Amino acid sequence: MYPEPIAKLIESFMKLPGIGQKTATRLAFYTIDMKEEDVASFAKSLLSAKRDLHFCSICGNLTEEDPCDICQDEMRDKSVILVVEEPKDVLAMERMREFRGLYHVLNGVLSPMEGTGPEDINIASLITRLHDEVVQEVILATNATTEGEATAMYLSRLIKPAGIKVTRLAHGLSVGSDIEYADEVTLLKAVEGRREL
């Protein structure tokens, strides 16, 4: 239907998550309308991100330098490690500007349905990090999905025998939301996570 270069560009955009045929076609034609130097800059950025970024050997976060800036920061509280699923979760926590501990990025979650087991995500290096007697608390900040909950429970069972405090991020109603519109799981988590005033 389209000339081969456009068809290939559409196929390439469709490989991105959440991009269907219509959006991919729109992006492809938008790209064609861009100035050639902007397209070259875009392509260069894609290649640079793929070539220049790698996982930190300590925490598993994306970085240009190894270890990453957070792991190198001497001002960080080394007694607390916050465990997240993906590097983008680290960015979300850092935007808050309140957490001053260290991170550990799993780069995935346990998912038997997809064949993802403990050996397929960054768990072994977390356990290695916990042998350092400085760590006193591990905060599990996986998403409130079935896979995220299963991963948190698995990690909790692995870590607790070492005598390290294991906590979980609170889940429940978001600020500004109405109870009547919340689903049952969100309400249950809100009731379970209640605190005294």
What is 4-52's CATH number?
1.10.8.420
pLDDT value at 197 more than 70:
no
Identity of the residue numbered 197? L
Q: Which residue, 101, 66, 108, 117, is CA-closest to 87?
A: 108
Q: Which residue, 125, 120, 182, 189, is CA-closest to 151?
A: 120
105, β-bridge pairs: 84
Degrees, nearest 5: CA angle 105-134-63: 30
**In the chain, where the domains are located:** 4-52, 74-168
- pLDDT tens by residue, 19-68: 999 999 999 999 999 999 999 999 999 999 999 999 999 999 999 999 99
Q: Which CATH class is domain 74-168?
A: alpha beta
Which pair of structure tokens corresponds to residue 62? 């994306």
- pLDDT tens by residue, 60-115: 999 999 999 999 999 999 999 999 999 999 999 999 889 999 999 999 999 988 99
pTM for the model stands at: 0.81
Instruction: Judge if 4-52 and 74-168 fold alike in CATH terms.
Output: no
Q: Which residue, 176, 113, 178, is CA-closest to 146?
A: 113
